[in-house]
Amino acid sequence: MEDKQNYWSENLRLIFICLVIWFVVSFGCGVLFVEPLNEIRLGGYKLGFWFAQQGSIYTFVALIFWYGKKMNDLDKKYNVEDA
């Protein structure tokens, strides 16, 4: 029971970290701070525009795989893997 509690809080911590990044790259860089970021160029892209139309999507993919990997480790650590 204790173990399940710890497993869950470690999971929640991971989710929190991921969602902060998720928020920053999309709502942050892509919407709220798009104007200052647009002052910076990435080739032909304005940086804020790039985040909104490219960068956020790449980050989402990386986040999901990173979370999946971390959770597999966590499942092993607490010995709660399913069959």
Partner 1 sequence: MDELKLYTWIAVGGTFGLYFFLAWWARAGSTSEFYAAGGGITPLQNGMAIGADWMSAASFISMAGLIAFLGYGGSVFLMGWTGGYVLLAMCLAPYMRKHGKFTVPEFIGDRFYSRTARIVAVVCLIIASVTYIIGQMKGVGVAFSRFLEVEYEMGLYIGMFVVFVYATLGGMKGITYTQIAQYVVLITAYTIPAIFISLQLTGNPIPQLGLGSTLADGSGVYLLDKIDQVVTELGFKEYTTSSLGDVEMFAYTLSLMIGTAGLPHVIMRFFTVPSVKAARQSAGYALVFIALLYTVAPAVGAMARFNLMNTIEPAAGQNLEYAERPQWFKDWEKTGLLQFEDKNGDGKIQYTADATTNEMVKVDRDIMVLANPSIANLPNWVIALVAAGGLAAALSTAAGLLLAISSAVSHDLMKGVLMPDMSEKSELLASRIVMTISILGAGYLGLNPPGFAAGTVALAFGLAASSIFPVLMMGIFSKKMNSQAAIAGMCAGIGVTMLYVFQHKGIMFIPGTSFLGDMKPNWFFDISPNAFGSVGALVNFVVAFTVLKLTKPAPQEIQDLVTNFRTPHGEIAAAHDH
**CB of residue 50 vs partner 1: minimum separation in angstroms?**
7
Does 33 help bind partner 1 (rule: CB under 8 A)? no
Question: SS3 of 33, please?
Answer: coil
Does 20 help bind partner 1 (rule: CB under 8 A)? no
Q: Pick the closest to residue 52 from 25, 82, 70 (CA basis).
A: 25
Tell me the longest C-alpha to C-alpha distance in the chain.
Answer: 55
Does 2 help bind partner 1 (rule: CB under 8 A)? no
Distances (CA, A) of 44 to 9, 28, 34, 48, 51: 44, 21, 16, 12, 13
Residue of 10, 24, 36, 45 interacting with partner 1 (CB under 8 A) = 45
Q: Give, in degrees to the nearest 5, the angle at Cα 28 between 25 and 33.
A: 125
**CB of residue 47 vs partner 1: minimum separation in angstroms?**
11
**What is the contact surface with partner 1 in residues (CB under 8 A)?**
4, 7-8, 11, 14-15, 18-19, 22, 26-27, 30-32, 34-35, 38, 42-46, 49-50, 52-54, 56-58, 60-61, 63-65, 67-68, 71-72, 75, 78-83
